Amino acid sequence: MPITYTNAKGKTYYLHQGTTKTGKPKYYFATNPEGRLAASIPERFEIYENPNAQVFLRRIPPKIMTDEERQVVEEGMRRSADVKDYKIDVKGNVIALFIRRFRISMLCPICSKSCTLTLPRTRSS
């Protein structure tokens, strides 16, 4: 049975298996079900969906942040913030919040009055 994954946008991806020039196995996701489909996920790998809904097969990273720490952020967002359309991504020792339509006032209930929030600059179109 092939490995499939449906991302946050509702697109279904199929895990394909191929070989490199040296004969080692390689894996990739595609929306096209044609070709050699993988029957299982290789050991020590996981399906990962980034905040832009791209789907990858990646090595399972070492866990630095605990599930409890991520849960604290999720619970705080659910209870206190006016934001409903967000994603939380944990990479290394960073918990990143991705908010689709953002106004600083949306986070004010979970920040103290003296809170300083540094936002990354975005490139203008």
State whether 27 and 54 are in the same domain: yes
Domain presence at residue 123: no
State whether 54 and 84 are in the same domain: no
Domain presence at residue 121: no
Domain presence at residue 115: no
pTM given for the model: 0.67
At 6-46, the pLDDT tens digits run 998 999 999 999 999 999 999 999 999 999 999 999 999 99
Domain presence at residue 22: yes
State whether 49 and 81 are in the same domain: no
Domain presence at residue 120: no
State whether 55 and 19 are in the same domain: yes
State whether 72 and 100 are in the same domain: yes
State whether 12 and 53 are in the same domain: yes
Q: What pLDDT score does 121 carry?
A: 54
Give the C-alpha distances (Å, rounded to integers) separating 35 from 1, 2, 58, 88, 106: 14, 11, 21, 33, 46
State whether 50 and 93 are in the same domain: no
Domain presence at residue 48: yes
**Predicted confidence (pLDDT) at residue 52 exceeds the cutoff of 50:** yes
At 54-113, the pLDDT tens digits run 999 999 988 888 889 889 888 888 887 777 777 888 888 888 888 766 665 555 555 544
Overall number of domains in the chain: 2
Residue 90's domain comprises 67-110
